[in-house]
Chains A and B, each alone.
Chain A
Amino acid sequence: MLNMKDIAITFNEGTLDEKKALQQTNLHLEQGDFVTVIGSNGAGKSTLMNLISGSLKPDVGTIEINRKNVTMMPEYKRSRMIGRVFQDPMAGTAPSMTIQENLAMAYARNKTRTLKIGVNKKRKQLFKEHLETLHLGLENRLTAKVGLLSGGERQALSLLMATFTEPNILLLDEHTAALDPSRAELITKLTGKVVKQFGLTTLMVTHNMQQALDLGNRLIMMDKGQIILEVSGEEKQALTIEKLLQEFQRIRGKQMESDRAVLG
Protein backbone atom coordinates (compact mmCIF):
# COMPACT_ATOMS: atom_id res chain seq x y z
CA MET A 1 0.00 0.00 0.00
CA LEU A 2 2.76 2.41 1.03
CA ASN A 3 6.31 1.97 -0.16
CA MET A 4 9.14 4.34 0.80
CA LYS A 5 12.48 3.59 -0.82
CA ASP A 6 15.85 5.08 0.17
CA ILE A 7 14.29 8.27 1.43
CA ALA A 8 16.62 10.96 2.73
CA ILE A 9 16.12 14.60 3.53
CA THR A 10 18.46 17.20 5.04
CA PHE A 11 17.38 20.57 6.38
CA ASN A 12 19.57 23.68 6.01
CA GLU A 13 22.21 21.75 4.09
CA GLY A 14 25.64 23.38 4.12
CA THR A 15 24.93 25.65 7.09
CA LEU A 16 25.75 25.36 10.78
CA ASP A 17 22.18 24.27 11.41
CA GLU A 18 22.40 21.37 9.00
CA LYS A 19 20.21 18.52 10.16
CA LYS A 20 19.92 15.14 8.56
CA ALA A 21 16.27 14.67 9.40
CA LEU A 22 15.96 11.34 7.64
CA GLN A 23 18.72 9.13 6.22
CA GLN A 24 18.34 6.17 3.91
CA THR A 25 14.93 5.21 5.20
CA ASN A 26 12.94 2.30 3.83
CA LEU A 27 9.42 1.55 4.92
CA HIS A 28 6.81 -0.76 3.48
CA LEU A 29 3.20 -0.98 4.64
CA GLU A 30 0.83 -3.74 3.57
CA GLN A 31 -2.89 -3.14 3.15
CA GLY A 32 -4.42 -3.09 6.65
CA ASP A 33 -1.14 -2.63 8.52
CA PHE A 34 -1.38 -0.51 11.65
CA VAL A 35 2.09 0.75 12.51
CA THR A 36 2.92 2.70 15.65
CA VAL A 37 6.00 4.94 15.53
CA ILE A 38 7.98 5.89 18.62
CA GLY A 39 11.19 7.81 19.20
CA SER A 40 12.54 10.82 21.04
CA ASN A 41 12.15 14.44 19.89
CA GLY A 42 14.05 15.09 16.69
CA ALA A 43 14.16 11.42 15.77
CA GLY A 44 12.46 12.13 12.43
CA LYS A 45 8.94 10.88 13.16
CA SER A 46 7.17 14.05 12.08
CA THR A 47 9.46 14.37 9.05
CA LEU A 48 8.43 10.86 8.05
CA MET A 49 4.75 11.82 8.33
CA ASN A 50 5.24 15.07 6.43
CA LEU A 51 7.02 13.24 3.63
CA ILE A 52 4.13 10.81 3.25
CA SER A 53 1.50 13.58 3.39
CA GLY A 54 3.44 15.68 0.89
CA SER A 55 4.00 18.79 2.99
CA LEU A 56 7.71 17.94 2.60
CA LYS A 57 9.44 16.53 -0.47
CA PRO A 58 12.44 14.19 -0.06
CA ASP A 59 15.93 15.06 -1.36
CA VAL A 60 16.31 11.55 -2.75
CA GLY A 61 14.26 8.36 -2.85
CA THR A 62 10.75 7.49 -3.97
CA ILE A 63 7.37 7.20 -2.27
CA GLU A 64 4.64 5.00 -3.71
CA ILE A 65 1.04 4.79 -2.60
CA ASN A 66 -1.01 2.00 -4.15
CA ARG A 67 1.88 1.38 -6.57
CA LYS A 68 1.61 4.94 -7.81
CA ASN A 69 4.68 7.14 -7.57
CA VAL A 70 3.65 10.19 -5.53
CA THR A 71 7.11 11.47 -4.58
CA MET A 72 6.61 14.91 -6.13
CA MET A 73 2.81 15.05 -6.13
CA PRO A 74 1.56 18.22 -4.37
CA GLU A 75 0.10 17.85 -0.90
CA TYR A 76 -3.49 18.74 -1.81
CA LYS A 77 -3.65 16.14 -4.59
CA ARG A 78 -2.13 13.44 -2.45
CA SER A 79 -4.59 14.07 0.36
CA ARG A 80 -7.26 12.44 -1.79
CA MET A 81 -5.62 9.20 -0.71
CA ILE A 82 -4.53 10.20 2.78
CA GLY A 83 -6.49 10.98 5.94
CA ARG A 84 -4.71 12.94 8.65
CA VAL A 85 -5.25 13.84 12.29
CA PHE A 86 -2.91 16.40 13.82
CA GLN A 87 -1.58 16.78 17.35
CA ASP A 88 -3.36 20.09 17.91
CA PRO A 89 -7.11 19.47 18.34
CA MET A 90 -7.70 22.90 16.75
CA ALA A 91 -5.80 21.97 13.58
CA GLY A 92 -8.09 19.36 12.07
CA THR A 93 -11.36 21.29 11.91
CA ALA A 94 -12.59 24.72 10.78
CA PRO A 95 -13.77 26.50 13.97
CA SER A 96 -16.16 29.09 12.51
CA MET A 97 -18.04 26.48 10.49
CA THR A 98 -20.66 24.03 11.73
CA ILE A 99 -20.18 20.33 12.46
CA GLN A 100 -22.14 19.34 9.35
CA GLU A 101 -20.19 21.76 7.15
CA ASN A 102 -16.92 20.34 8.45
CA LEU A 103 -18.11 16.82 7.70
CA ALA A 104 -19.24 17.91 4.23
CA MET A 105 -15.72 19.20 3.51
CA ALA A 106 -14.23 15.94 4.71
CA TYR A 107 -16.78 14.04 2.62
CA ALA A 108 -15.46 15.79 -0.51
CA ARG A 109 -11.86 14.70 0.19
CA ASN A 110 -11.74 11.97 -2.45
CA LYS A 111 -14.15 13.64 -4.88
CA THR A 112 -14.11 16.67 -7.15
CA ARG A 113 -15.72 19.65 -5.45
CA THR A 114 -18.72 20.99 -7.38
CA LEU A 115 -21.17 23.87 -7.21
CA LYS A 116 -23.78 21.69 -5.57
CA ILE A 117 -24.91 22.34 -2.01
CA GLY A 118 -22.45 20.72 0.40
CA VAL A 119 -24.90 19.68 3.12
CA ASN A 120 -28.00 18.01 1.72
CA LYS A 121 -30.61 15.84 3.43
CA LYS A 122 -29.10 12.54 2.39
CA ARG A 123 -25.64 13.52 3.59
CA LYS A 124 -27.01 14.91 6.84
CA GLN A 125 -28.43 11.47 7.58
CA LEU A 126 -25.07 9.88 6.76
CA PHE A 127 -23.20 12.35 8.98
CA LYS A 128 -25.64 11.66 11.81
CA GLU A 129 -25.09 7.93 11.58
CA HIS A 130 -21.32 8.35 11.68
CA LEU A 131 -21.45 10.85 14.57
CA GLU A 132 -23.56 8.41 16.59
CA THR A 133 -20.66 5.94 16.59
CA LEU A 134 -18.64 8.47 18.64
CA HIS A 135 -21.20 8.39 21.49
CA LEU A 136 -20.57 12.06 22.27
CA GLY A 137 -24.03 13.35 21.39
CA LEU A 138 -22.61 15.36 18.49
CA GLU A 139 -25.32 13.95 16.20
CA ASN A 140 -27.76 16.32 17.91
CA ARG A 141 -25.53 19.35 17.38
CA LEU A 142 -25.05 19.25 13.61
CA THR A 143 -25.46 23.02 13.25
CA ALA A 144 -23.22 23.96 16.19
CA LYS A 145 -20.02 25.80 15.32
CA VAL A 146 -17.00 23.54 15.82
CA GLY A 147 -15.19 26.29 17.74
CA LEU A 148 -17.66 25.72 20.58
CA LEU A 149 -16.64 22.08 21.08
CA SER A 150 -14.12 20.94 23.69
CA GLY A 151 -10.66 19.75 22.67
CA GLY A 152 -11.63 16.10 23.09
CA GLU A 153 -14.80 16.51 21.05
CA ARG A 154 -12.92 18.32 18.31
CA GLN A 155 -10.28 15.61 18.15
CA ALA A 156 -12.96 12.90 17.99
CA LEU A 157 -14.60 14.82 15.15
CA SER A 158 -11.22 15.23 13.40
CA LEU A 159 -10.67 11.48 13.67
CA LEU A 160 -14.09 10.78 12.18
CA MET A 161 -13.54 13.32 9.39
CA ALA A 162 -10.19 11.78 8.51
CA THR A 163 -11.50 8.21 8.43
CA PHE A 164 -15.12 7.93 7.30
CA THR A 165 -14.26 8.33 3.64
CA GLU A 166 -11.89 5.37 4.01
CA PRO A 167 -8.53 6.80 2.89
CA ASN A 168 -5.82 4.51 1.54
CA ILE A 169 -3.57 5.65 4.34
CA LEU A 170 -4.34 7.18 7.71
CA LEU A 171 -1.67 9.35 9.37
CA LEU A 172 -2.03 10.07 13.09
CA ASP A 173 0.55 12.54 14.40
CA GLU A 174 0.54 12.33 18.23
CA HIS A 175 -3.18 12.95 18.01
CA THR A 176 -3.84 12.26 21.69
CA ALA A 177 -0.85 14.16 23.11
CA ALA A 178 -2.69 17.44 23.76
CA LEU A 179 -5.64 15.87 25.58
CA ASP A 180 -6.22 15.11 29.25
CA PRO A 181 -5.71 11.41 30.21
CA SER A 182 -9.37 10.39 30.11
CA ARG A 183 -10.03 12.11 26.76
CA ALA A 184 -6.79 10.68 25.40
CA GLU A 185 -7.97 7.21 26.35
CA LEU A 186 -11.32 7.81 24.67
CA ILE A 187 -9.62 8.90 21.44
CA THR A 188 -7.21 5.95 21.64
CA LYS A 189 -10.15 3.56 21.93
CA LEU A 190 -11.99 5.28 19.08
CA THR A 191 -8.86 5.07 16.96
CA GLY A 192 -8.60 1.32 17.46
CA LYS A 193 -12.28 0.99 16.64
CA VAL A 194 -12.40 3.03 13.42
CA VAL A 195 -9.15 1.59 12.07
CA LYS A 196 -10.61 -1.88 12.53
CA GLN A 197 -14.05 -0.91 11.22
CA PHE A 198 -12.70 0.47 7.93
CA GLY A 199 -9.61 -1.77 7.79
CA LEU A 200 -7.39 1.29 7.34
CA THR A 201 -3.67 1.19 6.64
CA THR A 202 -2.42 3.38 9.47
CA LEU A 203 0.75 5.07 10.65
CA MET A 204 0.55 6.51 14.15
CA VAL A 205 3.23 8.59 15.86
CA THR A 206 3.07 8.61 19.64
CA HIS A 207 5.13 9.51 22.68
CA ASN A 208 3.08 7.17 24.81
CA MET A 209 4.88 3.81 24.84
CA GLN A 210 1.88 1.99 26.31
CA GLN A 211 -0.30 3.31 23.49
CA ALA A 212 2.28 2.20 20.96
CA LEU A 213 2.17 -1.30 22.41
CA ASP A 214 -1.61 -1.52 22.79
CA LEU A 215 -2.49 -0.44 19.27
CA GLY A 216 -1.51 -1.85 15.93
CA ASN A 217 0.19 -4.93 14.55
CA ARG A 218 3.61 -3.38 13.92
CA LEU A 219 5.91 -1.01 15.79
CA ILE A 220 8.90 0.96 14.61
CA MET A 221 11.36 2.93 16.71
CA MET A 222 13.22 5.88 15.25
CA ASP A 223 16.33 7.72 16.34
CA LYS A 224 18.48 10.38 14.70
CA GLY A 225 16.69 10.12 11.38
CA GLN A 226 16.77 6.35 11.11
CA ILE A 227 14.45 3.46 11.80
CA ILE A 228 16.42 1.53 14.40
CA LEU A 229 13.93 -1.15 15.40
CA GLU A 230 11.01 -2.93 13.76
CA VAL A 231 8.79 -5.46 15.46
CA SER A 232 5.56 -7.03 14.27
CA GLY A 233 3.06 -9.79 14.87
CA GLU A 234 3.52 -12.02 17.91
CA GLU A 235 6.85 -10.45 18.74
CA LYS A 236 5.05 -7.12 19.19
CA GLN A 237 2.31 -8.76 21.26
CA ALA A 238 4.94 -9.97 23.72
CA LEU A 239 6.66 -6.59 23.95
CA THR A 240 6.63 -4.52 27.17
CA ILE A 241 7.80 -0.99 27.90
CA GLU A 242 10.82 -2.32 29.81
CA LYS A 243 11.88 -4.57 26.97
CA LEU A 244 11.48 -1.69 24.57
CA LEU A 245 13.73 0.55 26.67
CA GLN A 246 16.32 -2.21 27.03
CA GLU A 247 16.28 -2.71 23.31
CA PHE A 248 16.83 1.00 22.77
CA GLN A 249 19.79 1.01 25.18
CA ARG A 250 21.25 -2.04 23.46
CA ILE A 251 21.05 -0.64 19.93
CA ARG A 252 22.11 2.86 20.85
CA GLY A 253 24.87 1.56 23.15
CA LYS A 254 26.30 -0.43 20.31
CA GLN A 255 26.12 2.52 18.01
CA MET A 256 27.83 4.74 20.57
CA GLU A 257 30.63 2.24 20.75
CA SER A 258 31.01 2.19 17.01
CA ASP A 259 30.84 6.00 16.97
CA ARG A 260 33.65 6.03 19.48
CA ALA A 261 35.60 3.63 17.30
CA VAL A 262 35.18 5.90 14.32
CA LEU A 263 36.16 8.97 16.30
CA GLY A 264 39.03 7.16 17.95
Chain B
Amino acid sequence: MLISMFSAVESGVIYALMALGVYLSFRILDFPDLTVDGSFVTGGAVAAISIVNGVPPVLATIYAVFAGFIAGMITGILNTKGKINPLLSGILMMIALYSINLRIMDKPNVALLNEPTIFNQIEGFWASLGIDDFLNGILTSLGADRLPGTWAILILMIIITLVVKFITDYFLKTEVGLALRATGDNEKMIRSFSANTDILTIVGLGISNALVALSGALVAQYGGFTDVNMGIGMIVIGLASVIIGEALFGTKTIARTTLAVIGGAIVYRIVLTLALKIKFLETGDAKLITAIIVIIALVAPKIIATVKESRRKRRKRAMLGGGTNNA
Protein backbone atom coordinates (compact mmCIF):
# COMPACT_ATOMS: atom_id res chain seq x y z
CA MET B 1 0.00 0.00 0.00
CA LEU B 2 2.73 2.42 1.01
CA ILE B 3 4.73 1.56 -2.08
CA SER B 4 1.82 2.06 -4.47
CA MET B 5 0.96 5.40 -2.82
CA PHE B 6 4.59 6.40 -3.09
CA SER B 7 4.73 5.73 -6.80
CA ALA B 8 1.33 7.43 -7.26
CA VAL B 9 2.77 10.63 -5.77
CA GLU B 10 5.94 10.17 -7.81
CA SER B 11 4.13 9.97 -11.14
CA GLY B 12 1.69 12.64 -9.97
CA VAL B 13 4.54 15.12 -9.71
CA ILE B 14 5.80 14.18 -13.19
CA TYR B 15 2.32 14.53 -14.75
CA ALA B 16 1.91 17.84 -12.89
CA LEU B 17 4.12 19.47 -15.54
CA MET B 18 1.64 18.33 -18.19
CA ALA B 19 -1.22 19.67 -16.05
CA LEU B 20 0.54 23.06 -15.83
CA GLY B 21 0.72 23.08 -19.62
CA VAL B 22 -2.99 22.30 -19.87
CA TYR B 23 -3.68 25.04 -17.33
CA LEU B 24 -1.85 27.56 -19.54
CA SER B 25 -3.88 26.74 -22.64
CA PHE B 26 -7.21 25.86 -21.07
CA ARG B 27 -7.45 28.51 -18.37
CA ILE B 28 -5.00 31.30 -19.22
CA LEU B 29 -5.56 31.39 -22.99
CA ASP B 30 -9.11 30.01 -22.77
CA PHE B 31 -8.10 27.67 -25.59
CA PRO B 32 -9.25 24.03 -25.26
CA ASP B 33 -6.11 22.62 -26.86
CA LEU B 34 -6.30 18.94 -27.80
CA THR B 35 -2.77 18.99 -29.23
CA VAL B 36 -1.75 17.66 -25.80
CA ASP B 37 -2.63 14.03 -26.67
CA GLY B 38 -0.08 14.22 -29.48
CA SER B 39 2.60 16.51 -28.06
CA PHE B 40 2.91 14.41 -24.90
CA VAL B 41 3.97 11.45 -27.03
CA THR B 42 6.15 13.70 -29.19
CA GLY B 43 8.05 14.63 -26.03
CA GLY B 44 8.46 11.00 -25.08
CA ALA B 45 9.37 9.93 -28.61
CA VAL B 46 12.01 12.62 -29.15
CA ALA B 47 13.59 11.97 -25.76
CA ALA B 48 13.58 8.17 -26.19
CA ILE B 49 14.95 8.11 -29.71
CA SER B 50 17.64 10.66 -28.81
CA ILE B 51 18.73 8.66 -25.77
CA VAL B 52 18.80 5.41 -27.75
CA ASN B 53 21.04 7.19 -30.25
CA GLY B 54 23.46 8.24 -27.55
CA VAL B 55 22.37 11.78 -26.74
CA PRO B 56 22.82 12.62 -23.03
CA PRO B 57 19.43 12.39 -21.25
CA VAL B 58 19.35 16.07 -20.20
CA LEU B 59 19.97 17.21 -23.75
CA ALA B 60 17.43 14.67 -25.07
CA THR B 61 14.86 16.15 -22.69
CA ILE B 62 15.62 19.65 -23.95
CA TYR B 63 15.11 18.45 -27.55
CA ALA B 64 11.72 17.09 -26.45
CA VAL B 65 10.72 20.44 -24.94
CA PHE B 66 11.68 22.17 -28.17
CA ALA B 67 9.63 19.70 -30.26
CA GLY B 68 6.60 20.31 -28.05
CA PHE B 69 7.03 24.06 -28.41
CA ILE B 70 6.98 23.78 -32.22
CA ALA B 71 3.91 21.51 -32.17
CA GLY B 72 2.03 24.00 -29.99
CA MET B 73 3.06 26.90 -32.21
CA ILE B 74 1.68 25.12 -35.27
CA THR B 75 -1.68 24.68 -33.54
CA GLY B 76 -1.57 28.40 -32.74
CA ILE B 77 -0.78 29.28 -36.35
CA LEU B 78 -3.66 27.09 -37.60
CA ASN B 79 -5.99 28.93 -35.25
CA THR B 80 -4.82 32.53 -35.68
CA LYS B 81 -3.54 32.69 -39.24
CA GLY B 82 -5.64 29.87 -40.70
CA LYS B 83 -8.73 31.04 -38.78
CA ILE B 84 -9.55 27.45 -37.81
CA ASN B 85 -11.62 27.04 -34.67
CA PRO B 86 -9.53 26.24 -31.55
CA LEU B 87 -10.93 22.76 -30.94
CA LEU B 88 -10.49 21.76 -34.56
CA SER B 89 -6.94 23.18 -34.75
CA GLY B 90 -5.99 21.03 -31.76
CA ILE B 91 -7.66 17.91 -33.13
CA LEU B 92 -5.96 18.32 -36.51
CA MET B 93 -2.58 18.75 -34.86
CA MET B 94 -3.20 15.80 -32.55
CA ILE B 95 -4.02 13.45 -35.43
CA ALA B 96 -1.10 14.77 -37.49
CA LEU B 97 1.26 14.21 -34.57
CA TYR B 98 0.21 10.55 -34.31
CA SER B 99 1.85 9.85 -37.67
CA ILE B 100 4.76 12.18 -36.95
CA ASN B 101 5.41 10.39 -33.65
CA LEU B 102 5.46 7.04 -35.48
CA ARG B 103 7.97 8.52 -37.92
CA ILE B 104 10.14 9.83 -35.10
CA MET B 105 10.26 6.43 -33.39
CA ASP B 106 10.13 4.36 -36.58
CA LYS B 107 8.04 1.77 -34.66
CA PRO B 108 5.11 1.86 -32.24
CA ASN B 109 7.31 1.82 -29.15
CA VAL B 110 10.88 2.38 -28.02
CA ALA B 111 12.25 0.74 -24.87
CA LEU B 112 14.81 2.50 -22.69
CA LEU B 113 16.00 -0.62 -20.87
CA ASN B 114 19.66 -0.39 -19.91
CA GLU B 115 19.81 3.14 -21.32
CA PRO B 116 20.85 6.12 -19.23
CA THR B 117 17.98 8.38 -18.11
CA ILE B 118 17.88 11.57 -16.08
CA PHE B 119 16.67 9.50 -13.16
CA ASN B 120 19.17 6.65 -13.13
CA GLN B 121 21.98 9.15 -13.71
CA ILE B 122 21.12 11.02 -10.56
CA GLU B 123 20.45 7.94 -8.46
CA GLY B 124 24.15 7.13 -7.99
CA PHE B 125 24.93 10.64 -6.80
CA TRP B 126 21.83 10.57 -4.62
CA ALA B 127 22.73 7.28 -2.94
CA SER B 128 26.07 8.74 -1.87
CA LEU B 129 24.20 11.48 0.03
CA GLY B 130 22.58 8.91 2.36
CA ILE B 131 19.24 10.74 2.44
CA ASP B 132 17.37 7.57 1.44
CA ASP B 133 18.54 5.76 4.57
CA PHE B 134 17.49 8.69 6.69
CA LEU B 135 14.00 9.00 5.18
CA ASN B 136 13.44 5.24 5.14
CA GLY B 137 14.60 5.18 8.75
CA ILE B 138 11.75 7.53 9.59
CA LEU B 139 9.28 5.35 7.68
CA THR B 140 10.54 2.20 9.45
CA SER B 141 10.15 3.83 12.84
CA LEU B 142 6.58 4.70 11.77
CA GLY B 143 5.96 1.00 11.26
CA ALA B 144 6.39 0.58 7.48
CA ASP B 145 7.59 -2.84 6.44
CA ARG B 146 8.20 -2.33 2.70
CA LEU B 147 10.23 0.72 1.76
CA PRO B 148 10.57 2.80 -1.44
CA GLY B 149 13.70 1.92 -3.41
CA THR B 150 14.84 5.50 -3.92
CA TRP B 151 13.69 9.00 -3.07
CA ALA B 152 15.83 10.51 -5.80
CA ILE B 153 13.08 10.61 -8.46
CA LEU B 154 10.49 12.13 -6.14
CA ILE B 155 12.81 14.81 -4.77
CA LEU B 156 14.26 15.66 -8.21
CA MET B 157 10.78 15.89 -9.70
CA ILE B 158 9.50 18.08 -6.88
CA ILE B 159 12.42 20.43 -7.50
CA ILE B 160 11.88 20.53 -11.29
CA THR B 161 8.12 20.99 -10.95
CA LEU B 162 8.46 23.77 -8.38
CA VAL B 163 11.06 25.57 -10.50
CA VAL B 164 8.71 25.40 -13.51
CA LYS B 165 5.87 26.61 -11.30
CA PHE B 166 7.81 29.64 -10.05
CA ILE B 167 9.00 30.55 -13.54
CA THR B 168 5.39 30.30 -14.77
CA ASP B 169 4.15 32.49 -11.89
CA TYR B 170 6.79 35.10 -12.64
CA PHE B 171 6.18 35.02 -16.38
CA LEU B 172 2.44 35.56 -15.95
CA LYS B 173 3.16 38.74 -13.99
CA THR B 174 5.49 40.27 -16.57
CA GLU B 175 4.28 42.75 -19.15
CA VAL B 176 4.18 40.01 -21.79
CA GLY B 177 2.53 37.63 -19.32
CA LEU B 178 -0.20 40.14 -18.48
CA ALA B 179 -0.91 40.57 -22.19
CA LEU B 180 -1.03 36.79 -22.59
CA ARG B 181 -3.59 36.49 -19.78
CA ALA B 182 -5.65 39.31 -21.26
CA THR B 183 -5.64 37.52 -24.63
CA GLY B 184 -7.60 34.72 -22.95
CA ASP B 185 -9.71 37.10 -20.89
CA ASN B 186 -10.67 39.90 -23.30
CA GLU B 187 -8.97 39.72 -26.66
CA LYS B 188 -10.62 42.82 -28.13
CA MET B 189 -9.46 44.88 -25.18
CA ILE B 190 -5.81 43.86 -25.23
CA ARG B 191 -5.63 44.39 -28.98
CA SER B 192 -6.81 47.96 -28.39
CA PHE B 193 -3.77 48.26 -26.10
CA SER B 194 -1.35 47.37 -28.90
CA ALA B 195 -0.78 43.69 -28.13
CA ASN B 196 -0.36 41.30 -31.05
CA THR B 197 -2.85 38.67 -29.92
CA ASP B 198 -1.96 36.29 -32.76
CA ILE B 199 1.67 36.06 -31.68
CA LEU B 200 0.67 35.80 -28.03
CA THR B 201 -1.67 32.89 -28.77
CA ILE B 202 0.98 31.14 -30.86
CA VAL B 203 3.72 31.55 -28.25
CA GLY B 204 1.33 30.74 -25.40
CA LEU B 205 0.34 27.44 -27.01
CA GLY B 206 4.02 26.78 -27.72
CA ILE B 207 4.93 27.16 -24.05
CA SER B 208 1.94 25.07 -23.00
CA ASN B 209 2.91 22.18 -25.28
CA ALA B 210 6.59 22.53 -24.35
CA LEU B 211 5.59 21.74 -20.77
CA VAL B 212 3.43 18.85 -21.96
CA ALA B 213 6.34 17.45 -23.98
CA LEU B 214 8.70 17.89 -21.02
CA SER B 215 6.29 15.81 -18.97
CA GLY B 216 6.13 13.21 -21.75
CA ALA B 217 9.92 13.02 -21.94
CA LEU B 218 10.20 12.50 -18.19
CA VAL B 219 7.37 9.94 -18.12
CA ALA B 220 9.19 7.98 -20.84
CA GLN B 221 12.42 7.97 -18.82
CA TYR B 222 10.54 7.15 -15.64
CA GLY B 223 8.63 4.23 -17.17
CA GLY B 224 11.52 3.06 -19.37
CA PHE B 225 9.65 3.21 -22.68
CA THR B 226 7.65 5.40 -25.07
CA ASP B 227 4.55 4.04 -26.75
CA VAL B 228 2.77 5.80 -29.60
CA ASN B 229 -0.54 5.32 -27.77
CA MET B 230 0.56 6.64 -24.40
CA GLY B 231 -0.98 10.06 -25.07
CA ILE B 232 -4.56 8.86 -25.48
CA GLY B 233 -6.79 10.72 -23.05
CA MET B 234 -3.92 12.86 -21.80
CA ILE B 235 -5.92 16.07 -22.21
CA VAL B 236 -8.65 14.66 -19.97
CA ILE B 237 -6.07 13.74 -17.31
CA GLY B 238 -4.69 17.29 -17.56
CA LEU B 239 -8.17 18.74 -17.22
CA ALA B 240 -8.91 16.41 -14.31
CA SER B 241 -5.81 17.71 -12.53
CA VAL B 242 -6.69 21.36 -13.21
CA ILE B 243 -10.33 20.97 -12.15
CA ILE B 244 -9.62 18.84 -9.06
CA GLY B 245 -6.84 21.19 -7.99
CA GLU B 246 -8.91 24.31 -8.43
CA ALA B 247 -11.86 22.77 -6.57
CA LEU B 248 -9.73 21.54 -3.65
CA PHE B 249 -7.11 24.24 -3.26
CA GLY B 250 -8.67 27.43 -4.65
CA THR B 251 -7.79 29.95 -7.35
CA LYS B 252 -7.34 33.19 -5.47
CA THR B 253 -4.06 34.17 -7.11
CA ILE B 254 -1.99 32.82 -9.99
CA ALA B 255 0.63 31.39 -7.60
CA ARG B 256 -2.07 29.64 -5.61
CA THR B 257 -3.71 28.24 -8.74
CA THR B 258 -0.51 26.81 -10.21
CA LEU B 259 0.18 25.14 -6.85
CA ALA B 260 -3.41 23.86 -6.88
CA VAL B 261 -2.90 22.36 -10.34
CA ILE B 262 0.19 20.49 -9.14
CA GLY B 263 -1.77 19.31 -6.09
CA GLY B 264 -4.63 18.28 -8.37
CA ALA B 265 -2.29 16.14 -10.49
CA ILE B 266 -1.04 14.31 -7.39
CA VAL B 267 -4.54 13.85 -5.93
CA TYR B 268 -5.72 12.48 -9.27
CA ARG B 269 -2.98 9.81 -9.28
CA ILE B 270 -3.76 8.84 -5.68
CA VAL B 271 -7.51 8.57 -6.38
CA LEU B 272 -6.83 6.52 -9.50
CA THR B 273 -4.47 4.19 -7.61
CA LEU B 274 -7.01 3.72 -4.84
CA ALA B 275 -9.81 3.09 -7.32
CA LEU B 276 -7.79 0.43 -9.14
CA LYS B 277 -7.26 -1.35 -5.78
CA ILE B 278 -10.95 -2.26 -5.87
CA LYS B 279 -11.11 -5.94 -6.90
CA PHE B 280 -13.86 -5.45 -9.48
CA LEU B 281 -11.92 -2.81 -11.48
CA GLU B 282 -9.17 -3.56 -14.01
CA THR B 283 -6.30 -1.48 -15.39
CA GLY B 284 -8.30 -0.97 -18.60
CA ASP B 285 -10.95 0.83 -16.59
CA ALA B 286 -8.54 3.69 -15.83
CA LYS B 287 -9.99 5.96 -18.54
CA LEU B 288 -13.54 5.36 -17.34
CA ILE B 289 -12.46 6.14 -13.79
CA THR B 290 -10.76 9.31 -15.05
CA ALA B 291 -13.96 10.42 -16.78
CA ILE B 292 -15.96 9.76 -13.61
CA ILE B 293 -13.43 11.67 -11.48
CA VAL B 294 -13.72 14.69 -13.80
CA ILE B 295 -17.52 14.50 -13.75
CA ILE B 296 -17.55 14.37 -9.94
CA ALA B 297 -15.07 17.26 -9.70
CA LEU B 298 -17.24 19.33 -12.04
CA VAL B 299 -20.65 18.49 -10.57
CA ALA B 300 -19.94 18.11 -6.85
CA PRO B 301 -19.00 21.77 -6.14
CA LYS B 302 -22.21 22.92 -7.85
CA ILE B 303 -24.38 20.52 -5.84
CA ILE B 304 -22.66 21.59 -2.62
CA ALA B 305 -23.23 25.26 -3.48
CA THR B 306 -26.92 24.66 -4.28
CA VAL B 307 -27.48 22.78 -1.03
CA LYS B 308 -25.72 25.51 0.94
CA GLU B 309 -27.73 28.23 -0.77
CA SER B 310 -31.10 26.57 -0.16
CA ARG B 311 -30.14 25.96 3.46
CA ARG B 312 -29.24 29.63 3.85
CA LYS B 313 -32.58 30.70 2.38
CA ARG B 314 -34.51 28.29 4.58
CA ARG B 315 -32.72 29.64 7.63
CA LYS B 316 -33.47 33.21 6.63
CA ARG B 317 -37.15 32.41 6.08
CA ALA B 318 -37.33 30.64 9.43
CA MET B 319 -35.78 33.64 11.14
CA LEU B 320 -38.17 36.08 9.50
CA GLY B 321 -41.11 33.78 10.26
CA GLY B 322 -40.01 33.68 13.90
CA GLY B 323 -39.75 37.48 13.88
CA THR B 324 -43.34 38.03 12.70
CA ASN B 325 -44.65 35.59 15.27
CA ASN B 326 -42.96 37.54 18.04
CA ALA B 327 -44.26 40.90 16.86
Contact = CB atoms under 8 A, between A and B. Distances in A.
**Chain B associates with chain A:** yes
Interface of A: 53, 75-77, 79-80, 82, 84, 86, 90-97, 101, 104-106, 108-110, 113-119, 161-162
B189 A76 contact: no
A119 B177 CA distance: 11
Given A76-B195, A79-B193, A91-B189, A97 B181 contact: yes
B175 A95 contact: no
B179 to A, nearest CB: 6
A79 B177 contact: no
Specify the main secondary structure of chain A where it touches its partner.
loop
14 contacts: A53-B192, A76-B197, A86-B192, A91-B189, A94-B185, A94-B186, A105-B175, A105-B179, A106-B193, A113-B175, A117-B170, A117-B174, A161-B193, A162-B192
A104 B194 contact: no
A115 B176 contact: yes
B191 interface: yes
Contacts of A116: 174-175
Given A76-B191, A115-B174, 17 more contacts: A53-B192, A77-B196, A86-B188, A92-B189, A95-B186, A96-B185, A97-B181, A101-B178, A101-B181, A105-B179, A105-B190, A105-B193, A105-B195, A108-B179, A114-B175, A114-B176, A115-B171
A109 B193 CA distance: 5
B29 to A, nearest CB: 12
A91 B186 contact: yes
Contacts, number: 88
B173 A92 contact: no
Contacts of A86: 188, 192
A166 to B, nearest CB: 14
B73 to A, nearest CB: 18
10 residue pairs, one from A and one from B, having the closest CB atoms? A94-B185, A113-B175, A79-B194, A94-B182, A118-B178, A109-B193, A94-B186, A80-B194, A84-B192, A118-B175
Interface of B: 170-171, 173-179, 181-182, 185-186, 188-197
Nearest to B251: A96
Nearest to B181: A97
A162 B179 CA distance: 16
Contacts of B196: 76-77
B174 A118 contact: yes
A79 B185 CA distance: 19
Contacts of A115: 171, 174-176
Contacts of A118: 173-175, 177-178
A132 B137 CA distance: 61
A84 B179 CA distance: 17
Nearest to B188: A91
Contacts of A161: 193
Contacts of A119: 173
A94 B193 CA distance: 12
Contacts of B179: 105, 108, 113
A236 to B, nearest CB: 29
Interface centre among B173, B177, B185, B193 (most CB of A within 10 A): B193
A91 B187 CA distance: 9
A259 to B, nearest CB: 38
Interface centre among A79, A91, A94, A161 (most CB of B within 10 A): A94
A110 B194 contact: yes
Contacts of A108: 175, 178-179, 193-195
A162 B190 CA distance: 11
Contacts of B189: 91-94
A108 B195 CA distance: 9
A92 B196 CA distance: 16
A84 B190 CA distance: 11
A119 B178 CA distance: 10
A213 B190 CA distance: 32
B192 A79 contact: yes
B181 A79 contact: no
Interface centre among A80, A90, A109 (most CB of B within 10 A): A109
A263 B175 CA distance: 59
A97 to B, nearest CB: 6
A113 B195 contact: yes
Contacts of A104: 175, 178
Nearest to A171: B192
